[in-house]
Chains A and B, each alone.
Chain A
């Protein structure tokens, strides 16, 4: 079946640093979504991407839908303490109505 590889698994960064994470798929997707989950909460949508090559920003967050339609990237600029959490990518293909989820990238900010 379809698989999503999300990396890195975790990141330890200093406040103010930029962050990059990515997801790659074994098959083509038509939609890429990026979510953030904080402890004890459900995932919250950050950015949605619907077209290959699309680059979308939401404040300090920027995500791109890869040209091959098999990957997506999320960047966070100038990280702040409230950015901590787990970031998930999710993709949806053409023939399958289900979302396929990455395993998450845990972001930890060093004091």
Chain B
């Protein structure tokens, strides 16, 4: 099993460009999450999906949209990238949303110029 996979690994965007970060998990988990990680800070939750067909805002949702395409896949979209969105983005999944450990992908490093 690959666990949680993310594509791309690296991306450089110009301000105003759009892109979609892809995430897939093969552990049959119900819940999936998108985080961003900035230097000196812990992980901050952008959006999560408790189960297929549902999505909810996390701590820092502004400037992002998500799609839970099916049970395996959860994508994060930046419609109009801004330099403040330069960060490392992590996708995670868990069996259920509450009291369950989350398993992380390797991350996508995004630079917005």
Q: Give the B-binding residues of A (Cβ under 8 A).
A: 1, 4, 6, 30-31, 33, 40-45, 48, 50, 88, 90, 92, 97-99, 101-104
Which range contains the number of B residues in contact with the other chain? 20 to 34
Q: Are A104 and B106 in contact (CB under 8 A)?
A: no
What secondary structure prevails in chain B residues at the interface with A?
loop
Encoded as 1 (CB less than 8 Å from any A CB) or 0, chain B from 77 to 107 comes to 0000000000000101000011101111111
Q: Are A41 and B48 in contact (CB under 8 A)?
A: no
Q: Answer whether residue B43 sits at the interface, using C-beta atoms and an 8 A cutoff.
A: yes
* Alpha-carbon separation in the docked complex, A40 to B4 (Å): 15
Q: Are B58 and A98 in contact (CB under 8 A)?
A: yes
Q: List 30 A-B contacts (CB under 8 A).
A: A31-B99, A40-B106, A41-B107, A42-B4, A42-B90, A42-B92, A42-B104, A42-B105, A42-B106, A42-B107, A43-B90, A45-B103, A48-B101, A50-B99, A88-B43, A90-B43, A92-B98, A92-B99, A97-B97, A98-B45, A98-B48, A98-B59, A99-B43, A99-B45, A99-B102, A101-B42, A101-B44, A103-B40, A103-B41, A104-B42
When distances are taken between beta carbons in the complex, the residues of chain A under 8 Å from B66 are none
What secondary structure prevails in chain A residues at the interface with B?
loop
Q: Are B50 and A97 in contact (CB under 8 A)?
A: yes
Q: Are A41 and B106 in contact (CB under 8 A)?
A: yes
Interface residues of B in 19-41 (CB under 8 A from A): 40-41
When distances are taken between beta carbons in the complex, the residues of chain A under 8 Å from B102 are 33, 45, 99
In this complex, the member of B40, B58, B98 whose beta carbon has the largest number of chain A beta carbons within 10 angstroms is B98
Looking at the assembled complex, report how far the CB atom of A81 sits from the nearest CB atom of chain B, in whole angstroms.
22
Chain A residue, CB-CB nearest to B58: A98
Chain B residue, CB-CB nearest to A45: B101
* Alpha-carbon separation in the docked complex, A102 to B99 (Å): 17
Give the residue of A30, A97, A102 whose beta carbon is less than 8 angstroms from that of B42: A102
When distances are taken between beta carbons in the complex, the residues of chain B under 8 Å from A1 are 59
Q: Are B42 and A103 in contact (CB under 8 A)?
A: yes
When distances are taken between beta carbons in the complex, the residues of chain A under 8 Å from B107 are 40-42
